[in-house]
Amino acid sequence: MADEPQKSAPLDGQIAVVTGAAQGLGRAIAERLANDGAAVVLADLQLEKTGVEAEHLRQQGLDATAAGLDVSNNAAVEDFFERLAVERKRVDILVNSAGVGQKVKAVVELSQEEWDRVLRVTLTGTFLCCRSAGAIMERQESGSIVNLASINGENPAALVAAYNAAKAGVISLTRTLAVELAAYGVRVNAVSPGPVYTDFNKSNMLQRSLSLGISEEEMIERVRAAVPLGKWGEPTDIAAAVAFLCSPDASWITGEILRVSGGMEGVSAAPPKRS
Ligand SMILES: NC(=O)c1ccc[n+]([C@@H]2O[C@H](COP(=O)([O-])OP(=O)(O)OC[C@H]3O[C@@H](n4cnc5c(N)ncnc54)[C@H](O)[C@@H]3O)[C@@H](O)[C@H]2O)c1
């Protein structure tokens, strides 16, 4: 019998960087891109954990390496991408998943430190990585960037103003960069996830349940019931959308903000008066 022709994976030979890849959505995105054929660099503040996750992927026969990176540190980001350009010769895909949630607080009680902390990582970190990788992609005249926004970026939820503003900024940055890099054949899109039960949301649910005086289980159930498709998302749901936007199937898509949320557009509930 003749050998079956080898099917090539959609991202074969591509060099991909995923920030925030030690856990949660970034971890799932890294696995998906590697399964689709990319050589993936998992970059995160948590170097040890990232190393363990990269090793798990290598044990599955995938191409994965770990790097320690603070996306909010400009010098570190520039150095990271310059070294990558030298060692790997190119950067084909950047997924910005590193981000931090906000302590659940009304604006009138929100400290400037907390505002700055959230903006520095979630918005400025995304900008710094886009700037460094974008310069490389512009030079090579190809590439794809996918930023993790949020449904909160378009429909702000109460008590997380800094996070909402950061994600609105990520959406604006994505659309700006999409037009600036279009002439170079570089595509820039964002995925806006709805609720997925990662560490990020565990902490959010706990704080929100305390602020409403209900149990954590009840809070989780309220969110589930508010999702039109009737369930929380899985990290793989988000990873599939990111992989699509990186793939040749999306070669005519740029500046798109793709909501992946089971139909949820946002949370509009007004909190009760604070005690
Ligand atoms: N989980 C959700 O429901 C949800 C919904 C909408 C948007 N998002 C967004 O998706 C992204 C991933 O969320 P997640 O749920 O996986 O969160 P997570 O908290 O589980 O993971 C975030 C990762 O980012 C890393 N990180 C934090 N600060 C960093 C820094 N300065 N430099 C490098 N890495 C840093 C953390 O170490 C962690 O590994 C975030 O941008 C988040 O805002 C998540």
Please give the distance, rounded to the nearest whole angstrom, from the Cα atom of residue 95 to the centre of ligand 1: 12
Listed as own residue / partner, the contacts of 48-52 with beta carbons closer than 8 Å and 24 or more positions apart are: 49/22, 49/23, 50/21, 50/22
Quote the CA–CA distance of 168 and 273 in Å, as a whole number.
26
- Which residue CA neighbors atom 30 of ligand 1 most closely? 70
- CB of 18 within 8 A of CB of 246? no
Which stretches of the chain drop beneath a pLDDT of 50?
1
Residue 273: count of CB within 10 angstroms of its CB: 4
Share of the chain above pLDDT 70, in %: 98
- CB of 266 within 8 A of CB of 156? yes
184 is catalytic: no
- Which residue CA neighbors atom 41 of ligand 1 most closely? 99
Digit-coded pLDDT (tens) for 205-221: 999 999 889 999 999 99
φ, ψ of residue 164 in degrees (nearest 5):
-60, -45
pLDDT value of position 1: 47
Closest atom of ligand 1 relative to the 73 alpha carbon: 31
Task: Say what the alpha-carbon torsion angle 65, 70, 76, 79 is, to the nearest 10 degrees.
Answer: 20
Mutate to test the pocket of ligand 1, among 196, 200, 223 (most ligand atoms within 8 A of CB): 200
Please give the distance, rounded to the nearest whole angstrom, from the Cα atom of residue 275 to the centre of ligand 1: 31
- CB of 148 within 8 A of CB of 191? yes
- Which residue CA neighbors atom 19 of ligand 1 most closely? 200
Nearest Cα residue to 244 out of 163, 178, 190: 190
Please give the distance, rounded to the nearest whole angstrom, from the Cα atom of residue 1 to the centre of ligand 1: 49
Quote the CA–CA distance of 275 and 271 in Å, as a whole number.
11
Who lines ligand 1 at CB under 6 A? Answer: 19-20, 22-26, 44-46, 69-72, 97-100, 121, 125, 148, 150, 193, 195-196, 198-201
Residue 136: count of CB within 10 angstroms of its CB: 21
Quote the CA–CA distance of 8 and 14 in Å, as a whole number.
12
Annotated active-site residue in 163, 190, 195, 258:
163
Q: Side chain identity at 12, as an amino acid letter?
A: D
pLDDT value of position 2: 53
Give the chain's domains with CATH numbers: 15-100+111-194+234-260 (3.40.50.720)
